[in-house]
Structure 1
Amino acid sequence: MTLNVLKLLVFALGALSVSNVSASGYNLPFTPARHLEDNNGRFVCEEKLPQPVEKLELSSIYKDEDESRSTIDPKNKKRYEEAIAGTRAFLTFVTRSASNFTQTDGNRLDEAACALAALDLWARADALSDLKTRQSFLSTTRIIAGSAVAYMQVRSAARLLNFDTDRIERWLTRLAEETVPVYTESGERRSNLQNHRYWGGFAVAAVGVAVGRQDLLQFGYDSYKIGVCQVTEEGVLPLELDRKKKARDYHLHALAPLVMLASLTEANGYQAFALCDNGLQRLARFSLESIIDPSRMERLSGAQQVKLPKGKNGLTRGDRIAWLEVYLQKYPEDRAKYEGLFEGPLYASTLGGRISVVYSLDFRN
């Protein structure tokens, strides 16, 4: 059978129909690759895959005596960066491959093959199965979240590639299931109420949508409510304000999973964006204003804010505000005011890749 005949047969069977419904039966909050029938005919990944990491033993990067957790200890940071480097390399590989597939609307089939092959390799190895510390669990949530969103992007290509995704889904599910008790069975901890909880909720909910697990999606929504319903009338997250000189940084960091959670859950029937009197919009506007002028954040936190990292274009580094593309899709009336803060496409591996490409068809080619 020729390749063209095979493509037409698969297309005729409906496997390539554009739908925001994932293979799990849950709604994706974005439009997946639309033109798989026009793929490049390359069914094999020719890239070197990142090797699995089984064990992680991470600790905080901050000085122990700093109660605000805003002063980095250089030795602690170096130790952390070295320990997590292999895991980050995996996430970068998977999300960039998935983004390349999505950006070409399905033409780069080999990129989907690379993302699936890497996910499958780590699933076969039962990667991240030996997490030695609570910090290891907290940091791994970003890996789970990004991987799950990347998987949502390339899952439709699995049929063309004749790729069995069962192992990937079992692995993601295990990671999500082991994340939940980190927050629910650890007592009264600040990290169960602030940005760590939102990242945990995003990771678990993303897996829920990817594999079709209502309980996981519900945990994500519960985590979202914890965050967005803390937002004050001014738009502040009180627990992130306690980070003193890094309050602005942590407001932006907390917004990323909250925005993604709102997108995932609302696509599947929950009320999210308008929850708690539009708490997410108040938080986003306050935090974005703090990029333009940090004086209000400094007054409320009682500390001069550390500078945000800049990209080559002189603007705030894109990974810090990659969620903004999702936010502006929901609130286009805010685009004129905040679009000058970035140049697209925005990318963050922890959110699943090139988020502008995933959420905006204008960035696809």
Structure 2
Amino acid sequence: MRSRFIRILGAVSLMMFMGLGINQAVAACTVPAPVKSIDPAGFYDDPAAYAQAVKPMRDYIYRLNNAAESKQWTCVLALLDSWARADALMGPISGYQGYYERSWAGTDFALVLLRLPREVGEANADQLRVITSWLTRIAIATRDADAINHLHNNLVYWAGLNLVAIGTLAQQQELIDAGLARAREGIRDIGPRGELQREIKRGDRALHYHTFALIPLVFTAELAERQGVNLYQENHGAIGRLANLVIRAVQDPDTFTEITPVKQKLFPWTFQDELSWMEPYYARTHDPRLPMLIAPRRPFREWRLGGNVTIAWGVALP
């Protein structure tokens, strides 16, 4: 009798445990209501209003990236499919910041899907077509955004990554070519010491924006390799010069005075997750300076780049 009771109790406990697991899985894949339009105040114009406006989209991206990191691909597709069918983020934008946010979000979505196992994509081809069509609309909107194109600075390079990432996913060469043109604008702007004149004009944020500009150039160069295009060699190895400038500044911020005498201010994330470009760059170059900089910062997580960059792009360190 006692053994029968124990068996029943064990079965009930197992069912409760399984039920809890299922409920947690369902909760993990609950799809937030689609954000129809992303139109926040400017990041510097009204920081509090900006943070409040972007929170629903960032929460969704955080959920998506976590699902990708844990390889919950069914959840990844469910999240993206729901927002794709709602044509999320494609509503009108009255200001300028929304164009940047939508471009960054589309880049993240594409980089997540470029990690999707082939067999999962093939088994969910209809869903993937819906999502890819939506991302293509985001890319076209980014390509045609005058609010970005007239700037000729780091935001243009980020738009280039958006176009190359989505173009690679959608196998649309015209988007890839438009993205490469924007990346090449940045590469041409890199000076002999790795400096970017437009980012030097940011004053006490110049170092931050050199770092921020380097991110899309490195990731675009990595995707371009899949097209047989070597952006690393262009303008006499310009990306390498910019990378060297930033690496030296991470090792010793005072070295940046060679570029500008203005005392620099950094955001808390400038020398943390925004150094995520070091993962693919080290995997390619094996620069001996990088392991000591990468190791204490791992894992790198960047919401614009599919979440956990270390998992997606990192290699073993010596």
Looking at structure 2, the residues matched to 158 and 348 of structure 1 have their Cα atoms a distance apart, in angstroms, of 24
For residue 66 of structure 2, what is the aligned residue in structure 1?
96
Residue among 263, 268, 271 paired with 1:316? 271
Q: Is 2:195–2:259's contact at 8 Å kept on the other side of the alignment?
A: no
What SS is found at the alignment partner of 1:113?
helix
Equivalent residues, number: 289
Looking at structure 1, the residues matched to 117 and 31 of structure 2 have their Cα atoms a distance apart, in angstroms, of 18
What SS is found at the alignment partner of 1:50?
coil
For residue 325 of structure 1, what is the aligned residue in structure 2?
279
Looking at structure 2, the residues matched to 208 and 129 of structure 1 have their Cα atoms a distance apart, in angstroms, of 18
Structure 1: gaps spanning 5 or more residues: 1-41, 63-72, 102-110
Please state if 1:260 is matched with 2:215. Answer: no
What amino acid sits opposite 2:246 in the alignment? S
TM-score by structure 1 length?
0.74
**1:308 Cα shift?**
4.2
1:205-244 mapped onto 2 (5 Å cutoff): 205-244=164-203
Please state if 1:148 is matched with 2:100. Answer: no
Q: Is 1:233–1:282's contact at 8 Å kept on the other side of the alignment?
A: yes
Residue among 250, 255, 258 paired with 2:209? 250
Structure 2: gaps spanning 5 or more residues: 1-21
TM-score by structure 2 length?
0.84
What amino acid sits opposite 2:121 in the alignment? A
Q: Is 2:77–2:127's contact at 8 Å kept on the other side of the alignment?
A: no
**1:295 Cα shift?**
2.0
Looking at structure 1, the residues matched to 104 and 64 of structure 2 have their Cα atoms a distance apart, in angstroms, of 13
**1:252 Cα shift?**
0.8
User: Deviation per CA, 1:112-137, whole angstroms, max 9, x where unpaired?
Assistant: 11111100010011101113123211
Cα 1:128–1:256 change in 2 (3 A) is same
The structure with the largest helix share of the pair is 2
**1:152 Cα shift?**
1.3
Please state if 1:53 is matched with 2:7. Answer: no
Looking at structure 2, the residues matched to 135 and 49 of structure 1 have their Cα atoms a distance apart, in angstroms, of 25
Cα 1:350–1:299 change in 2 (3 A) is same
Cα 1:162–1:207 change in 2 (3 A) is closer
What SS is found at the alignment partner of 1:52?
coil
Please state if 1:127 is matched with 2:105. Answer: no
Residue among 124, 143, 153 paired with 1:180? 143
Looking at structure 1, the residues matched to 116 and 316 of structure 2 have their Cα atoms a distance apart, in angstroms, of 19
**1:151 Cα shift?**
1.1
Query: Displaced runs of 4+ in structure 1, greater than 4 A?
Result: 160-163
Cα 1:145–1:271 change in 2 (3 A) is same
Looking at structure 1, the residues matched to 138 and 179 of structure 2 have their Cα atoms a distance apart, in angstroms, of 14
**1:155 Cα shift?**
5.4
Looking at structure 1, the residues matched to 266 and 283 of structure 2 have their Cα atoms a distance apart, in angstroms, of 27
